[in-house]
Amino acid sequence: MYYKQYGNTEMKVSAVGLGTMRYDSEDIAAGRFEKCAEIPLYALEKGINYWDTAPFYCDDKSEMVTGIALSQVKRSDVFVTSKTNLGTLNNDTGKDAFRRRLEMSLDRLKTDYIDFYHMWCMLNIESWEKHMEALYGFYEEAKSEGLIRNIVFSSHMEGNDIEKVVNSHKFKGMLIGYNALNYRFRQSGIEAAHKNGMGVVVMNPLGGGMIPLNEKAFSYLTEGTGLTVPQAALRFVASHKEITVTLAGCTTKAHVDDAVKAVEGLEEKPAKEIVKDYENKGIALNDLCTGCGYCKGCPKGIEIPKYMDAYNQKIFTNDSSQVISRLNNHWGIVKDLAAECIACGKCEKQCTQHLPIISRLKEIAG
pLDDT tens column, 51-70: 999 999 999 999 999 999 99
Same domain, 272 and 310: no
Q: Are 31 and 24 in contact (CB under 8 A)?
A: no
Same domain, 232 and 102: yes
Q: Write the DSSP assignment of 187-219 as a string of letters.
A: HHHHHHHHHTT-EEEEE-TTGGGHHHHTTTTTG
Q: Which amino acid is residue 239, in one-letter code?
A: S
Helix residue spans in 219-353 (DSSP H): 229-238, 253-262, 271-278, 304-317, 321-325, 346-350
Same domain, 322 and 264: no
Sequence-ordered strand ranges (E) for the chain: 3-5, 12-14, 16-19, 50-52, 79-84, 114-122, 148-155, 173-177, 199-203, 245-249
> Which residue in 356, 355, 353 sits closest to 179, CA to CA?
353
Task: Please report which helix (H) or strand (E) contains residue 133, including its range.
Answer: helix 125-144
Distances in whole angstroms, Cα of residue 247 to Cα of each of 21, 52, 181, 336, 355: 10, 8, 16, 37, 24
pLDDT confidence bin for 276, thresholds 50/70/90: confident
β-bridge mates for residue 118, sequence order: 83, 152
> Which residue in 206, 289, 294 sits closest to 246, CA to CA?
206
pLDDT for the residue 136 = 97
pLDDT for the residue 75 = 97
Same domain, 11 and 123: yes
pLDDT confidence bin for 242, thresholds 50/70/90: very high
Domain containing 330 equals 304-365
Same domain, 315 and 251: no
- Write out pLDDT tens, residues 247-273: 999 999 999 999 999 999 999 999 999
Share of the chain above pLDDT 70, in %: 98
Same domain, 37 and 161: yes
Does a structural domain hold residue 283? no
Average pLDDT, the chain: 92
Question: Domain boundary at 278, 293, 323, which?
Answer: 278
Cβ atoms < 10 Å from Cβ of 292: 18
Stated pTM of the model: 0.82
Does a structural domain hold residue 295? no
Name the more confident of 116 and 212: 116
Helix residue spans in 318-356 (DSSP H): 321-325, 346-350
Same domain, 192 and 258: yes
Same domain, 326 and 215: no
* Mean pLDDT, range 310-322, rounded to an integer: 85
341: three-class secondary structure by DSSP: coil
> Which residue in 352, 358, 342, 363 sits closest to 304, CA to CA?
358
Helical axes 38-45 vs 253-262, angle rounded to 10°:
30
β-bridge mates for residue 176, sequence order: 155, 202
Same domain, 169 and 272: yes
Residue 42 CA, distance from chain mean position: 21
| CATH number of the structural domain spanning residue 188 | 3.20.20.100
Backbone angles phi, psi at 56, to 5 degrees: 80, -20
pLDDT for the residue 296 = 86
Does a structural domain hold residue 336? yes
Does a structural domain hold residue 266? yes
Lowest mean pLDDT of 41-55, 107-121, 219-233, name the range.
Answer: 219-233
In whole angstroms, give the CA distance from residue 154 to residue 152.
Answer: 7
Backbone angles phi, psi at 197, to 5 degrees: 75, 25
Does a structural domain hold residue 292? no
Does a structural domain hold residue 294? no
Domains in the chain, number: 2
169: three-class secondary structure by DSSP: coil
Conformation bin of residue 148: beta by default, left when phi > 0, alpha when psi is -120 to 50: beta
The greatest distance separating any two alpha carbons of the chain, rounded to the nearest whole angstrom, comes to 58
Same domain, 159 and 204: yes
